[in-house]
Amino acid sequence: MNISADISRNLNLNEIIELDRKYYMKTFGERTPVCFSYGKGINLWDTEGRKFCDFLSGIAVNALGHSHPKLINAVKEQAEKIIHCSNLYYIEPQAKLAALLVENSCADRVFFANSGAEANEGAIKLARIYFRKKGMPEKYEIITMKNSFHGRTLATLAATGQEVYQKPFFPLPPGFRSVPLNDMDALKNAISEQTCAVMLEPIQGESGVHVADDSYIKAVRKLCDDNGILLIFDEIQCGMGRTGRLFAYEHYGVEPDIFTLAKALGGGVPIGALCAKEFVAQAFGKGEHGSTFGGNPLACAAGLAVLEALSEENLIENAQRQGRYFTEKLMELAEKHSSISEIRGKGLMIGVELNNCKAVAVKDSCFNSGYLIGSVGNNVLRFLPPLIVTKDDIDGMVNALDKALSQIEKE
């Protein structure tokens, strides 16, 4: 195959957009008109030389920011040794990363996947096979939360409590029902003889940063114990230090039986993790779960580098400290702008709800000022900066947001 000159040379933004429109599936619609070519720390530069401050982190992925030397060196060194080998053989970085996660969490066993959706698929399979091997195959149903998001595979779509994602793919796999978050009565009423697990995100990210109440999580843990069912936490977005703790469940003083990780775990290199206590992990026997690429040497080397950086650079503490500062600055902004109706979240996982349905316009205005943020629907702004963020970075972001809100409120 001969690569044409038009593809092998560096392209400008318009050329990249044209290729995308012609050849890429339209799953993302019209994207923000920018293409990044380089990143360093919290900043990104596009193909046109413009500089942006990244307060989205690839949707909570780039926890160490961009081009972090520890991550870059780990990936480079591992790539020069071996990128992939089959799970038929032992893999040193895989064993080390599993040990590090277990030694720093409530889990006893880990299985590595390639994404959050795959990790959640593994959690669903593990919960079901656990009860089947206990002689209770009728216990297969999993209760999830409305407005949750667990992935885009058919099973994880069925688990996701948002019909907007589900409807185009009906019929979905059976065995899931959703109830409102923080509604204990609804959860109690949903439990039946078929229930095998309750699955929830301690903080729902994709629906606008909704935090589970402390009393609710404690009550869910007790409800699961009283009914002999499993508790699964999806920490794909809220885990890995983002909330000011290594794992979000630590805020609540309870432990899940199973929890899942992805996004920030590889710092940008795709990897997911299914983590479980021994009593449930042992339900997986030989040949009952697997992955070709899951836990490959390259991804696990990246995961090791991320965990080491979080510890050595006190980034979890920084997330807690800067998250508190960021929230305080946003609260000050709310006193000035009546368009802000609520600020919620933990650590550096923050949602700002607007009452004027102009979140996209505010996001676009921040983009034009050189700041990358997210929007959820028409009325929520989402902030997920790298855990290396500083007060100066936050001050700049708040100033850009102040300017954007002022412009929008005048219109």
DSSP string spanning 279-326? Answer: HHHTT--TTSS--SSTT-HHHHHHHHHHHHHHHHTTHHHHHHHHHHHH
Instruction: Assess whether 234 carries a catalytic annotation.
Output: yes
Q: At what angle do helices 315-336 and 391-410 cross, to 10 degrees?
A: 30
Q: Are 85 and 91 in contact (CB under 8 A)?
A: yes
Cα 297 to Cα 61, 268, 325, 348, distances in angstroms: 19, 15, 38, 29
pLDDT given for residue 245 in this prediction: 98
Q: What size, in residues, is the chain?
A: 411
Q: Which residue is listed with tokens 């800067």?
A: 322
Query: For residues 7 and 331, what is the distance between their CA atoms, to the nearest angstrom?
Result: 48
Question: Which H or E run includes 392?
Answer: helix 391-410
Can you spell out the DSSP letters for 13-60? Answer: HHHHHHHHHHHS-TTS-S--S--EEEEEBTEEEETTS-EEEESSHHHH
CB within 8 A of 340, min separation 6: which ones?
330, 333, 334, 352, 353, 354, 355, 405
For residue 207, count other CB atoms closer than 10 A to its CB: 20
Domains plus CATH for the chain?
5-61+314-410 (3.90.1150.10), 70-312 (3.40.640.10)
DSSP letter for 114, please.
S
Q: Kindly name the residue from 54, 112, 257, 263 that is annotated as catalytic.
A: 263
- Which residue, 284, 222, 297, 227, is CA-closest to 255? 222
Provide the H-helix boundaries in 169-296: 184-190, 214-227, 278-281
Of 112, 131, 149, 176, which residue is the catalytic one?
Answer: 149
Query: What per-residue confidence (pLDDT) applies to 9?
Result: 81
Give me the pLDDT at residue 3, please. Answer: 53
What are the average pLDDT values for consecutive 10-residue runs of the chain, which has 411 residues? 63 93 92 96 96 98 98 98 97 98 98 98 98 98 98 98 94 97 98 98 97 98 98 98 98 98 98 98 97 98 98 98 98 96 98 95 97 96 98 98 94 76
Handedness of CA 306, 312, 316, 321 (dihedral sign): negative
CB atoms within 10 A of CB 203: 25
- Per-residue pLDDT, 135: 98
Q: Which phi and psi (to 5°) does residue 191 adopt?
A: -70, 135
Cβ distance 142 to 176 under 8 Å?
yes
Which one of 52, 112, 131, 234 is the catalytic residue? 234
What gap in Å lies between CA 105 and CA 177, rounded to an integer? 29
Helix spans in 92-174 (H): 92-103, 116-133, 154-159, 163-166
Alpha carbons 273 and 278: distance in angstroms, whole number: 15
Asked if 401 and 375 touch (Cβ cutoff 8 Å), the reply is: no
Whole-prediction pTM: 0.96
The rounded distance, in Å, linking the Cα atoms of 264 and 243 is: 12
